[in-house]
Amino acid sequence: MSLPLSFAPALSSPSLLAPPVYAALREWPGAAEIRVAAIDPALSDTGAFCERYGVAPEESANCVVIAGRRGGETSYAACMVAATTRADVNGLVRRHMGVRKASFGPVDEVTALTGMEYGGITPIGLPGQWAVLVDADVAKLGNAVIGSGIRGSKLWLPGRLLAELPRAEVLPGLGV
């Protein structure tokens, strides 16, 4: 049995957003088109969320944080890929970041740097120097469900807005 989602304008529900997400939305013109809905935090993972709330996996996008290393320096990229795909970390992402080694960012490090909860990380409100890489198919979605910075809610927005985020780059083939 699926549960209904009740979406409201994101800026009207700051308690459903991580503080850096709310702060970023307050400054971003695209925020007027973004909605938020409360969910059971135990159902934040994409598969459980889609099943319980009746959302097609094709309408969901995941944000994976990649840590790239080169010469003792670490850089980060948030990759937005469809829930039905995986980010091409060791191919496209590594080459695009210009790093020798790319891997998923350590949970403790990523949550400390972003101010967001693991399982709810979103590309909205990330640290200013982080790259935001968006798969071309995600940018074409009419509407996408993504994290809100916390496990207890989800954002709903047109995919094109992800491509309009500060520092966003659309990469065909990011999700494989």
DSSP designation for 3: P
Summarize pLDDT for 79-130 with one digit per residue, the tens. Answer: 999 999 999 999 999 999 999 999 999 999 999 999 999 999 999 999 999 9
Pairing of strands 144-147, 131-135: unpaired
Residue 161 near residue 30 (C-beta atoms within 8 A): yes
**CA nearest neighbour of 159 among 176, 131, 175, 135:** 135
Q: Where are the domains of the chain?
A: 8-171
CATH number 3.90.960.10 given to 8-171: yes
Give the pTM.
Answer: 0.95
Summarize pLDDT for 9-29 with one digit per residue, the tens. Answer: 999 999 999 999 999 999 999
